[in-house]
Amino acid sequence: MSENITLARPVMAGASLKRHAWLLLPLLVLATLFFYPLLLIVQQALQDESGRAGVGTFLQVFESRRFVSALCNTLQIALFTTLGCVILGSVMSLILVFIPFTGSRFISLIIDTFIALPTFLITLAFTFIYGSAGLVNGGLMTFFDFDLPPVDFLYSMPGVILAEITVFTPLVMRPLMASLRQLDRGLLEAASVLGAPPLRVVTQVIFPAARPALLAGGSLCLLLATNEFGIVLFIGAKGVNTLPMMVYSKAILESDYTAACAIAVINVLLSLGLFMLYRLALSRTEKRS
């Protein structure tokens, strides 16, 4: 009996090794393409000008007014973008799911295509419409004989926020619409029979059931807006400096790679912190439900 057990242990170990062998290739690719470059960035950020290990670069970055301004701009743009995406995405999702009309499926397809489009195309469209020589300013200057373009919000923080809301709203709508379609319509009918007004049905029946999907879409929008680089760069907003833009300027324009790596590490830690807040909010929501 003991000999059978002894022989069975190597067989079980070999079978367990075969079951987990398929993980080696993805882990190797992930380590090569992600963890190793990240380790190099952290290593560069922890070196001072003399090549010694230390946190002097981080202290210099934190003392910089430019960094503080970029951090505040990044958080402000991310929060206002997420708030706008959640509000606009919620309203449009409710309309497309619970108020069927001709062309609603076509609009849903357009929303899907927005997810696939690169961000600079949306920004380019905004430039053609709201830019200094765009359609809106051209029409207003022609009809009302203005000397200067009257619409100039595009090259400021509101323009960046509006462009990001346009780009990221479909990311909020897709999981929210899927959750709303799975909602039990009997709950809505029961609330209507009991005399609940539409606003109360939305706030106390629909959104509590769809809260996990709304949190998922909103958190994804928050993370992407925090790390967005192309929209800010392509618009060229004056005085709007964000953490990704500061990493670019430090590395490419100023050739200060140590400071660029330090700011990049701070940006990664900020993203991880926001993601942990999302996980905490989601776990509390699941416990309540």
pLDDT tens figures, 105-129: 888 888 878 777 788 888 888 888 8
- Cα distance between the two ends of the chain: 51
Assess whether pLDDT exceeds 60 at residue 77.
Answer: yes
Per-residue b/e over 71-105, b at no fewer than 16 CB within 10 Å?
bebbbebbebbbebbbebbbebbbebbbeeeeeee
φ and ψ at residue 47, rounded to 5 degrees: -110, 140
Assess whether pLDDT exceeds 80 at residue 45.
Answer: yes
pLDDT band for position 90 (cuts 50, 70, 90): very high
The number of residues making up the chain comes to 289
Specify the CATH number for 53-287; select among 1.20.1250.20, 1.10.3720.10, 1.10.10.10, 3.40.640.10: 1.10.3720.10
Q: Are 172 and 81 in contact (CB under 8 A)?
A: no
Residue boundaries of the structural domains of the chain: 53-287
The pLDDT tens digits for 142-193 are: 888 787 788 878 888 888 999 999 999 999 998 898 888 888 777 777 877 7
DSSP string, 143-158: HH--SS-S---TTSHH
Average pLDDT, the chain: 83
Q: Are 131 and 153 in contact (CB under 8 A)?
A: no
Cα dihedral value 90, 94, 97, 103, nearest 10: -90
Crossing angle of the two packed helices 65-98 and 104-116, in degrees rounded to 10: 150
Contacts of 164 (CB under 8 A, 6+ apart): 77, 81, 225, 228, 231
**Does residue 243 or residue 27 have the better pLDDT?**
243
Report residue 112 as tokens. Answer: 């899907």
Find, among 207, 184, 191, 172, the residue nearest to 285 by Cα.
207
Q: For the residues 57-67, what does the mean pLDDT come to?
A: 90
Q: Are 137 and 244 in contact (CB under 8 A)?
A: no
- The structure's pTM equals 0.83
Lowest mean pLDDT among 94-98, 120-124, 172-176, 265-269: 120-124
